[in-house]
Structure 1
Amino acid sequence: MPRLQLIALRSPRAGPFDLSLEPGECLAVTGPSGAGKSLMLRMIADLDPHDGEALLDGRPRAAMPAPDWRRRVVYGASESGWWLDQVGAHFKTPPVEAATALGLPQDIFARPVASCSTGERQRLALLRVLALDAPVLLLDEPTGALDPEAVLRAEDLLRQRLAAGTSILMVTHDPAQANRVGTACAVLEGGRLQVATLTR
């Protein structure tokens, strides 16, 4: 699995960000609303204007076509879009086992997206990101709309991916979640990342 590295990644609103994320590591980022957490993820995914560089296993993002980068460094937005009517149409192969692990109903992939609750759509959005089997995941509040049991189920799936070598950069407003899932934790405030201490 490749290593993600940021070198002076910045925009007028946030940064510079310098960090290295090794395979199997999860950096959990907390901080107040409006601090630039989502912006940081979007800059890494090359979705928002910025300066600086991101590298995957030493290869600069600029050396890859944007679609190739985004297949390997996958961004999961806090509010994901649904461009087809049926849930199953968003998956090459419906991840039935993972859906069951998240507590989703057995018929979920046969249902219209519009019939799904907010929590179901958020779990499906997480499944959609995980189904891409990318080496690096950029997750923006992946469990923000979920009840406590569903949050723990989602965290179990993320830990399985970490154990398999996936790297995760996760934004969360929940410091307890940062401690449960993160192998490292940072606070983004005033546009800068500051290393925080895990309290396990």
Structure 2
Amino acid sequence: MLFEVKDLQGQNVPPVSFVLKGGEVLTVQGESGVGKSQMLRALADLSPHEGEVRLEGDEQQAMPATEWRRRVVLVPAESGWWADTVAEHFAERPPEEWWGRLRLKPALWDAPVERLSSGERQRLAVLRALVLEPRVLLLDEPTANLDRSNARAMADLLLDYVDEHGAAAVWVSHNPDEIAAHDGQRLEMTREGGVLHGSV
């Protein structure tokens, strides 16, 4: 198995367990405040938690945190930007195909971050994650601030990445259409814990 989670829990995170193979997407649903975002942070080893999390058999706590976060990459709902220009936030320049698929102008590579729209920041945050070639993507409503066509373009790129790289994704979404497009498992989170469902 690629990604194994057993009895994960922490502050504001009810107990959850699931297993993902390469090429699989786990869609996560639940009302606001049940711990979806906090679960993603725990999976990325960014907040204290209990339970077992394994990537290709390697235990999370046995791996340096920086290495884990290069292989299990979180794309938060509000991405962080700490330098002046877009390029300074990337390990390398994304392929031109990705710029085109997300309808981003290549000139944004040298643009000041302060001039980016919220939609541009969201799409660029996804590209920033993908260039790391993660084995697992942790996606916190990545299409939330996008119009329908841009949201579909992003979803298609992310799903293609998962398929082509044999990666996996844990995808928090409130969009029923987006969820219906995923052929995979669904985790319904409540304050008591997570209920895992089969293919949607």
- TM-score normalised by L of structure 1: 0.93
Alpha-carbon deviation of 1:11?
1.4
Taking the aligned partners of 1:93 and 1:87, their CA distance within structure 2 comes to: 11
In structure 2, the residue corresponding to 1:5 is in which secondary structure? strand
Matched with 2:151 is 151
Farther-moved stretch of structure 1 (91-100 vs 131-140) = 91-100
> What residue is the counterpart of 1:168 in the other structure?
169
Q: Offset at 1:181?
A: 2.9
1:131 corresponds in structure 2 to 131
In the aligned structure 2, how far is the partner of 1:6 from the partner of 1:162?
19
Q: Give the conservation status (yes or no) of the 8 Å contact 1:186–1:194.
A: yes
Displacement of 1:14: 2.3
Describe the shift of the 1:197–1:19 C-alpha distance in structure 2 as closer, same or farther (beyond 3 A): closer
Q: Distance in 2 between matches of 1:25 and 1:124?
A: 23
Amino acid at match of 2:100: T
Give the distance between the partners of 2:167 and 2:11, measured in 1 at CA: 30
Report how far residue 107 of structure 1 moved. Answer: 1.0
For structure 2, which runs of at least 5 residues remain unmatched after alignment?
none
Distance of 2:102 and 2:157 partners within structure 1? 8
Which segment is superposed worse, 176-185 or 43-52? 176-185
Q: Indicate if the aligned counterparts of 2:30 and 2:189 stay in contact, CA closer than 8 A.
A: yes
What's the offset of the Cα at 1:129? 0.8
The structural deviation recorded for 1:108 is 1.1
C-alpha distance in 1 between matches for 2:26 and 2:186: 5
> Shift in Å at residue 174 of structure 1?
1.1
User: Relative to structure 1, is the Cα distance of residues 12 and 121 closer, same or farther in structure 2, using a 3 angstrom cutoff?
Assistant: closer
Aligned to 2:58: 59
* Structure 2 match to 1:15: 14
Residue 30 of structure 1 contacts residue 175 of structure 1 at CA under 8 Å; is this kept in 2? no
1:35-184 to structure 2, matched below 5 A, reads 35-95=34-94, 96-164=96-164, 165-184=166-185
Letter in 2 for 1:52: G
Q: CA 1:99–1:35 in structure 2 vs 1: closer, same or farther (change >3 Å)? A: same
Pairwise CA distance, 1:158: 1.1
Q: Is contact 2:18-2:196 (8 Å) kept?
A: no
Q: Do the aligned partners of residues 182 and 108 (structure 1) sit closer, same or farther apart at CA in structure 2, a change above 3 Å counting?
A: farther
Identity %: 40
Provide the C-alpha distance between the structure 2 equivalents of 1:33 and 1:64, rounded to a whole number of angstroms: 32
Q: TM-score, normalised by structure 2?
A: 0.93
Shift of 1:93: 2.5
Give the superposition deviation at 1:191. Answer: 4.2
Which ranges in structure 1 are unaligned for 5 or more consecutive residues?
none
Q: What amino acid is the match of 2:190?
A: E
Q: RMSD across aligned C-alpha pairs, in angstroms? A: 1.5
